[in-house]
Structure 1
Amino acid sequence: MRFVIRLSLISLVALIVVCIYAGTTSAQPAPQRDGSFLKNRLEQDDVNDDGKVSRDEFSGPAPMFQRLDRDGDGEIEIKEVVKIMSMRSPANNRKANARIPSDLEIKRDVVFGKGGDRDLTMHLVFPTKKTDQPLPAYVWVHGGGWQSGSKEGGVNQVSRMVAEGFVGATIEYRLTGEAPFPAQIEDCKCAIRFLRAHAKEYGIDPERIAVAGSSAGGHLVALLGTSGDVKELEGSGGWPDQSSRVQAVVDLYGPSDLATFVTTEGFEAHNRTGSPESKLLGGGEVIGNKEGIRRVNPITYIDDQDPPFLILHGTKDPVVPMNQSQALHDALGTAGVETKLKLIPGAKHGGREFSTPEINDLIMSFLKKQLPVPK
């Protein structure tokens, strides 16, 4: 009986949220009442792609957040909500690519290399309008503290860029529960090498590859930008004859210097054993692991050959201190690398402030300037 009541409550709340998200009224039918619409909107709200939606990320009204936050921990578990919704309607099993805009095509779970002894995959998103000229690529790397998240939410992240003339890719990488650093950057570099090796097949210009990511994904794309072809981070996942260099980086509130991070007032808990940063380094307290801190820091590898950076960070970020983006920006500038730091007043760790028209236009303008799209 308790399960039935909970299921009915979630279903009812989900229907209300769907109506609010979609702007429907009582005189209009609610779209996709099976829950797929709700899942899609929650994934869009999940700015840092960690599989959860925080209060700051949620774009619906506060009462609805409280209803969907079943355990009251301040986060909506997308997977759990979708699991419950799927029990009430088999229609939720429709292929995910049904949610892709009609002017885009998706190729799912393309194997791009090996992470240890298993396959690594990516989703590729293409414009349906074909062109004889190769297109720039836009690669999304998900966040989640290097320990959670997946490539799924990245489809929404790349779709807008694909509609503007890019080929999109959203990639997986080994999480810290499977392997510590440098597994994560090795897998990201393997994905770049794969795209370069298959550029002709996918209509990509191999000299125009941009990367973007948020939080832990922001750290990894920054590292891709500064450590192109650094042998100690390349790994052996495949395509060794190709370069892992990229031509533009969009870093959304990613960590950089962990020594500064975990000693910043209010962030000291990140130094402890078991923190995401500790797991990235293989365990133990962060401070004291000088070599590990050096290896994971994008600033370590900066030189004047690095690509242009666009860095965005909220001034009230409670998860990654703003000084992480400031330090990276300053180091890039000192080395003569083109860099722009956009601090968003009052913004926290993700949230709607990072998807305003102003920020979307800023990112699009940056990418089109660095990687012109064919007319």
Structure 2
Amino acid sequence: MRLHKLLWQVPAALLLVTTMLLFANEFAIARPSRRIKDIPYVVSTLPGFDPQRHILDVYSPRKQASTPYPVVIFIHGGSWNSGRKNLYTFIGRRLAKQGVVAVIINYRLAPNVEVPAMVDDCARAVLWTRQHIADYGGDPTRIYVMGHSAGGGLAALLTVKDSVFAQLGADRNPIKGAILDDPAGLDMFDYLTKMEYPNDERYLIPFGKDPAIWRQVSALYHLTADSPPILMYAGERTYPSIASSTRKFEKRLQELGIRYQFKVLPGKKHIPMVTQLFWQNNVIYRDLLQFVGAKPATT
């Protein structure tokens, strides 16, 4: 039966990741970092304002530095219809412990909104970060985005599609690079056009039925030679569509001469690609710290 090979096995996968991440949260080392939680990143008068989804947490090193810390904004996954920032406290703690100011965000989800609105939310969180992160010890000129699964697809799109920020009145795209952890949705135009797997119709809820929109929210079609550098990771045993789309994305990065690294992690499935981030010495952290130019906040 091919159902078990679907890109997103929502019920079972979410139960597993919730259990594992809550367990990880309890044991994450908190002392070297400071968490400021539930900060609204848009004003409450914004049409569609959601007090539970338009919020973010900031994790900053307690140790003061002579220069501001680099900033990583983490966007959670969850098939565009689930997930929340509080499951990823351990990522914020780990990054802050290693000399990075981390911003972990919520954003609105389907069926309440479709993906273009989610992109808008994430872009607003990035702009909030540029404006305010210096107050938390972060460098507003060194903002990177990171995401797992659906969050990886959103992070990729924000990085390469400058018009997302222009539409919000920004003078430029503030993102300096992206870290994509088993990203989903890099080419939803192809995925939804083919409809290769059972129950693929469920993704028409977050993506709608207009193929033009599928293309607009697929990062693959917005890469240019000027796109920022990218770190990308896929699990050797991830879903077939993620394996295919990351290879396609890598090929396009090569064609355009964009600086990137792409690693396939042996034996890893989709959910362990994010739960592995509980461990400080994980390969993704090692690459990330060098990528963003971080210096350890503690010994």
TM-score (structure 2 length as normaliser) = 0.81
Say whether residues 1:105 and 2:34 are aligned partners. yes
Distance in 2 (alpha carbons) for counterparts of 1:356 and 1:223? 22
AA of the residue aligned to 2:190? T
Partners of 1:219 and 1:256 within 8 A in 2: yes
Partners of 1:221 and 1:249 within 8 A in 2: yes
Distance in 1 (alpha carbons) for counterparts of 2:293 and 2:17? 38
What's the offset of the Cα at 1:173? 0.8
Q: Which has the higher contact order (CA 8 A, sep 6+)?
A: 2
What's the offset of the Cα at 1:316? 2.6
Q: 1:131 corresponds to which residue?
A: 65
Aligned pair in 2 of structure 1 residues 234, 154: CA closer, same or farther (>3 Å)?
Answer: farther
RMSD: 3.2
Distance in 1 (alpha carbons) for counterparts of 2:37 and 2:263? 33
Q: 2:229 corresponds to which residue?
A: 308
Question: Where do 5+ consecutive residues of structure 2 fail to align?
Answer: 1-8
Q: Secondary structure at the match of 1:153?
A: helix
Aligned pair in 2 of structure 1 residues 177, 301: CA closer, same or farther (>3 Å)?
Answer: same
Say whether residues 1:199 and 2:120 are aligned partners. no
Q: 1:260 corresponds to which residue?
A: 190
Match of 2:153 among 205, 213, 219: 219
Say whether residues 1:230 and 2:163 are aligned partners. yes
Partners of 1:186 and 1:234 within 8 A in 2: no
Q: Secondary structure at the match of 2:270?
A: coil
TM-score (structure 1 length as normaliser) = 0.66
Distance in 1 (alpha carbons) for counterparts of 2:158 and 2:253? 14
Aligned pair in 2 of structure 1 residues 333, 357: CA closer, same or farther (>3 Å)?
Answer: farther
Say whether residues 1:189 and 2:120 are aligned partners. no
Distance in 2 (alpha carbons) for counterparts of 1:209 and 1:248? 8
Deviations 1:189-222 (A, max 9, x none): 1111111111321221112112111110010111
Distance in 2 (alpha carbons) for counterparts of 1:311 and 1:349? 14
Q: 1:269 corresponds to which residue?
A: 198
Which structure has the greater CA radius of gyration?
1
What's the offset of the Cα at 1:130? 1.2
Q: 1:280 corresponds to which residue?
A: 206
Partners of 2:91 and 2:278 within 8 A in 1: no
Aligned pair in 2 of structure 1 residues 359, 257: CA closer, same or farther (>3 Å)?
Answer: farther
Distance in 2 (alpha carbons) for counterparts of 1:128 and 1:53? 37
Distance in 2 (alpha carbons) for counterparts of 1:51 and 1:299? 24
Partners of 1:53 and 1:78 within 8 A in 2: no
Distance in 2 (alpha carbons) for counterparts of 1:357 and 1:105? 17
Partners of 1:222 and 1:251 within 8 A in 2: yes
Q: 1:210 corresponds to which residue?
A: 144
Partners of 1:138 and 1:210 within 8 A in 2: yes
Q: 1:140 corresponds to which residue?
A: 74
Q: Secondary structure at the match of 1:253?
A: strand
Say whether residues 1:347 and 2:280 are aligned partners. no
Aligned pair in 2 of structure 1 residues 264, 340: CA closer, same or farther (>3 Å)?
Answer: farther
What's the offset of the Cα at 1:181? 2.3
Q: How does 1:1-375 map to 2 (within 5 A)?
A: 54=13, 75-76=15-16, 78=18, 101-114=30-43, 116-118=47-49, 119=51, 120-227=54-161, 229-231=162-164, 236=168, 240-241=169-170, 243-254=172-183, 255-262=185-192, 267-269=196-198, 271-272=200-201, 275=202, 277-282=203-208, 284=209, 289-318=210-239, 320-351=241-272, 355=276, 360-374=281-295
Q: Secondary structure at the match of 1:321?
A: helix
Distance in 1 (alpha carbons) for counterparts of 2:200 and 2:182? 19
Report the number of matched residues. 278
Deviations 1:58-102 (A, max 9, x none): xxxxxxxxxxxxxxxx945848xx9xxxxxxxxxxxxx9996611
Q: Secondary structure at the match of 1:102?
A: coil
Deviations 1:137-185 (A, max 9, x none): 1111000001000111222122211111010110011112221121111
Identity, in percent, stands at 23
